Structure 1
């Protein structure tokens, strides 16, 4: 009995159509699954690319932060200032930067991204605050420099003025000193012989063998500039050979004139009262006087105030 009946042929066609439908369905499913897998792969690749881009950007941010903090440190050092907190920040940023670079070879999670973004934001705030502080320090330093320059200029001017004042004072002091110099007027030399009699020769010429003592009389001219105070007048009796008579036993000594030590024959202390007062010296050589011209020099306050001569024959 034949099996190739119309019924069997119809069933085979249905079976073939069913198989075709099933195969088409399977192909469709496979195509869909391949499409989904491709999309997932592309999505994963995009996620990795985004993560890598985020990582590199974050590394650049930290490198820039490190460079800026190092700049701040150098600026402070240039002003002669030290800041340990800046060095600590640079150390911390360097540590974070090294950790970020390590994510190039391992997973860089969203949690890691948030952590480093937050830390970078905090560092940026600190950086801006420190820049403001440094700007203020620079302004203060510039102000101080300007003030110091002004002070030095003022000091120089004051020093110059003080020097001028000192020079002027020295000049005035010297002028006052010269103006206050005393003047011996009317110097009169008299001899006293061995009998105690005084002789006054208008020509100031006497016989040497008759001289026992010598009296010198003079008046001090009025001087309103000179101070009314105790003073000393020194008398030098210079013999014909140019040497001043000098005897410690009779009150001789040394004093300074123009910075040099010179001998004086006698001295007398007095109080200047600006009354044209008269002073005198009585000198006893206790030896025979030399023949020739003798000179009397009178000094007070470092100046010669009078001079006279007399001759012993």
Structure 2
């Protein structure tokens, strides 16, 4: 009986030991499997974190300078805000543990959202730039047409001015003949300075059917050897080339477009000097003739 009892006891102990060994082996195997699974998950999350960081960096580089490609201040401001958001998320990703699966997935979603927003901004920038190019091209075309029109108007203006100048020249009075006689007090010709009492200016205005008929003021300007002007008064002036100049004598004639001869006289009341004198004849604000004479001692 005692032997049988011992056998039973040993058998029970053996079975218990075997059970413990089996349980220990199973626990060790399960623990090893779990450790391997954990290492695999850590490796996978480390890779995913690394990939996510690279995606952030690549996306950040791809959007560099995007805000400078638009002249729309509001859009440029929004682009800057999104780029700042990317930078903030990149800094946050660096501090996340690889085992924090939830946070890494959240950052993935954040990147997808920011990327979607910035893609919309890229489309808007491209659209605005295209519109600007179209408007610039249209503006260039308008400027070109305006310049062409301006050049045409300028050419017409020049042609008009040229035509008006030709008409004005054609209508201007001209002297057919101009001569000067110096006379004594007995109306005899002389070239002696001390005997000259009268300067007689003979002129003939040529026929010109283009000139406007009517009264014409003819002015004679006698220039002395020292480039002075023989004049009675400082107030004896007439308009010429946008200024007032002195005249020696004047006459009003009635011109009808045909040859017209007449005479102007200058009575000498001043001391004359020997030398060369010149007579300039004016009408309608134009110099129409010149003649010269000499007085000797």
TM-score if structure 2 supplies the norm length?
0.70
Q: Distance in 1 between matches of 2:86 and 2:163?
A: 73
Partner of 1:177: 168
Deviation, structure 1 residue 92: 2.3
Partner of 2:232: 248
- Alignment of 1:31 with 2:25, yes or no, is yes
1:92 is matched with which residue: 67, 72, 85? Answer: 85
- Alignment of 1:101 with 2:94, yes or no, is yes
**8 Å CA contact 2:222, 2:278 repeated in 1:** yes
Equivalent runs, 1:135-284 vs 2, <5 Å: 135-151=126-142, 153-154=144-145, 157=148, 161=152, 164-165=155-156, 167-185=158-176, 206=189, 220-227=205-212, 232-237=217-222, 246-249=230-233, 253=237, 264-268=247-251, 274=257, 280-284=263-267
Root-mean-square deviation (CA, aligned residues, Å) is: 4.7
1:91 alignment partner, SS class: helix
TM-score if structure 1 supplies the norm length?
0.67
Q: Distance in 1 between matches of 2:50 and 2:219?
A: 103
Residues 185-211 of structure 1 deviation map (CA, whole Å, 9 limit, x = unaligned): 47688999979xxx8xxxxx7368998
**8 Å CA contact 1:220, 1:277 repeated in 2:** yes
Corresponding pairs, count: 293
**8 Å CA contact 1:252, 1:267 repeated in 2:** no
1:70 alignment partner, SS class: coil
Partner of 1:68: 62
Deviation, structure 1 residue 182: 0.5
Partner of 1:124: 115
Residues 208-258 of structure 1 deviation map (CA, whole Å, 9 limit, x = unaligned): 89986566565544434435687542213568x69776022497558758x
Deviation, structure 1 residue 94: 1.6
Q: Which of these two proteins has the greater Rg computed from alpha carbons?
A: 1
Deviation, structure 1 residue 99: 1.3
In structure 2, runs of 5+ residues without a counterpart are none
2:172 alignment partner, SS class: coil
**8 Å CA contact 2:183, 2:189 repeated in 1:** no
Q: Distance in 1 between matches of 2:245 and 2:124?
A: 74
Distance 1:63 1:245, change over 3 A: closer
Q: Distance in 2 between matches of 1:42 and 1:138?
A: 55
Residues 123-179 of structure 1 deviation map (CA, whole Å, 9 limit, x = unaligned): 112111110111123223333443454455456555655665555455444433332
Query: 119-128 or 31-40, which moves further after superposition?
Result: 31-40
Q: Distance in 1 between matches of 2:254 and 2:25?
A: 138
2:65 alignment partner, SS class: helix
**8 Å CA contact 2:181, 2:189 repeated in 1:** no
Deviation, structure 1 residue 18: 3.5
